[in-house]
A and B are shown apart, each in its own frame.
Chain A
């Protein structure tokens, strides 16, 4: 019974999201924009962590690679910011492949700690102005506004449609991916790696492929971030960002896209709404995370089995 209402509920939410900027003020639209960016990042992390079960707590590193690629190409070579999307994805994806190649076979917790290490090394490299192109601790500023068919995207409302349009496309593509042979192989990997290997799934290939894909997506989100902020600096890509993304995926229910989107709203949106209680809100945030995990260890909407 419940499933018959689900398409309607989702259509209703989509419609509400589509008209939201018309009756919200600029601040709230901006909050929705950051939720959108985190939702995108969380969806890309969900591929790696949720669908394939690879513990990645350094996702901010790939996000940073993308954002910096976009910013450098834009400010140095005057390439329009949205044209840098494929380059950002490529750079972040290749970087992820290079990093993951020697470590991807490691067992869960070791991979977790290595990805934390990679995230920190990338951040420190950015702070130290590696190759003299990242601008050190100040970062890069003066990134130009995105332009679509001569229309310059400037206001939060415009960015809203850019970001959430990207969310919609991402959700659709990842949904199709999940239904494909590739998606099934990932789930097999997550549930039982040995059995997957035994049934002829090339585990190393799939692990690397999903790592590269998730990272490339995060890299493209980095472009959107750079375009929205026009200034980027290393502190936007700290360990904390990776932790938040990790929490969103697990809280939402690893492997469930609707759950991940819902968790992005809760984890990013709620602290924004409680800005008045600035000092105590993170304390409550930590407490809520603990309580949520104790009450619902599988996350808000756990991934459903396929059989």
Chain B
């Protein structure tokens, strides 16, 4: 039981990270019907920017742990959001009226470009997060000893998701995003500036992805410039699992995928860990192509 609960909480932490990345994919897909292949790399930028800021500004020494990390999170979010907006301008906006596959190749090109920029700046080797940011404390939750960082990551990702959900559901801007996702033309006729909605989506999505990157750095301690591929593909799987274009779906899908993967790695085979996610993906697409929460069913004629 102890082992099971450890795996479950670990799965929830990883799942929270997947969910945050998946939100970026699903929001962009909802509005533009584009798989943003460079999103995984923006996530990696979050991890690297977090490391650089942490090392150069020594925020946690100056402001204490809680405030320091909060400032760090906000800075990473802001910077990665700006990157996302630049990406949209440079790689996607000129291709909005073009064949879909051209945008896919442009996205792949952007991904290669971003990845190799990181490699040139930081080198190809693993980068290590300082391990003295917070005490390696164990938290006693109902008799279960959990690493503090794991608990914080689960809490933080859930908090961010609730905030995003409220933003999308309750605010005027959120309504505009949902409207643009359902029908861009009709949204435009209703006076919604679709270009601004798209820009906003490319600010919010990457910001969430950037935080996820920072979380991976803090959780695992080491990061690599190519890790965006794997995390990106898994997060996209999570988005499909929940129903692509559906924001609560991405959250549920991410958490679920994280738990499935952790359980699979623990009880089935660790060597096949990365294959589990894709197996789940294929099964879900065969059984229920719209995902768990997706309601917009396949193309009607």
Q: Whole-angstrom distance between the alpha carbons of A246 and B101 in the complex?
A: 10
Q: Contacts A102-B286, A114-B282, A124-B275 given: A283-B120 contact, CB under 8 Å?
A: yes
Q: Whole-angstrom distance between the alpha carbons of A300 and B111 in the complex?
A: 21
Of the residues B98, B101, B236, contact of A55 by C-beta under 8 Å: B101
User: Which residues in A have their C-beta under 8 angstroms from that of B271?
Assistant: 124, 127-128
- B301 on the A face (CB < 8 A): yes
Q: Whole-angstrom distance between the alpha carbons of A204 and B109 in the complex?
A: 32
Report yes or no: B236 in contact with A113, Cβ–Cβ below 8 A: yes
Q: Which of B's residues lie within 8 Å of A, judged by CB? A: 29, 33, 35, 90-91, 94-95, 98-106, 108-117, 119-120, 229, 233, 236-237, 240, 244, 271-272, 274-275, 278-279, 281-282, 285-286, 289, 298-299, 301
- A294 on the B face (CB < 8 A): yes
Of the residues A194, A251, A280, A293, contact of B120 by C-beta under 8 Å: A280
Q: Whole-angstrom distance between the alpha carbons of A92 and B233 in the complex?
A: 24
10 closest residue pairs by CB, A with B: A289-B109, A286-B112, A286-B113, A297-B98, A117-B278, A283-B116, A297-B102, A293-B106, A290-B109, A124-B275
Q: Contacts A294-B106, A297-B99 given: A283-B117 contact, CB under 8 Å?
A: yes
B234 CB to nearest A CB, Å? 10
Q: Whole-angstrom distance between the alpha carbons of A49 and B100 in the complex?
A: 13
Q: Whole-angstrom distance between the alpha carbons of A127 and B120 in the complex?
A: 29
Q: Which one of A1-9, A104-112, A211-219 is at the B interface?
A: A104-112
| Additional pairs, 9, CB under 8 Å, beyond known A124-B272, A290-B106 | A112-B104, A116-B233, A116-B278, A124-B271, A280-B120, A285-B109, A287-B113, A290-B113, A293-B106
Smallest CB gap from A55: residue in B: B101
Report yes or no: B285 in contact with A290, Cβ–Cβ below 8 A: no
A248 CB to nearest B CB, Å? 10
User: Which residues in A have their C-beta under 8 angstroms from that of B119?
Assistant: 279
Report yes or no: A103 in contact with B113, Cβ–Cβ below 8 A: no
Report yes or no: B106 in contact with A114, Cβ–Cβ below 8 A: no
- A282 on the B face (CB < 8 A): yes
User: Which residues in B have their C-beta under 8 angstroms from that of A251?
Assistant: 105
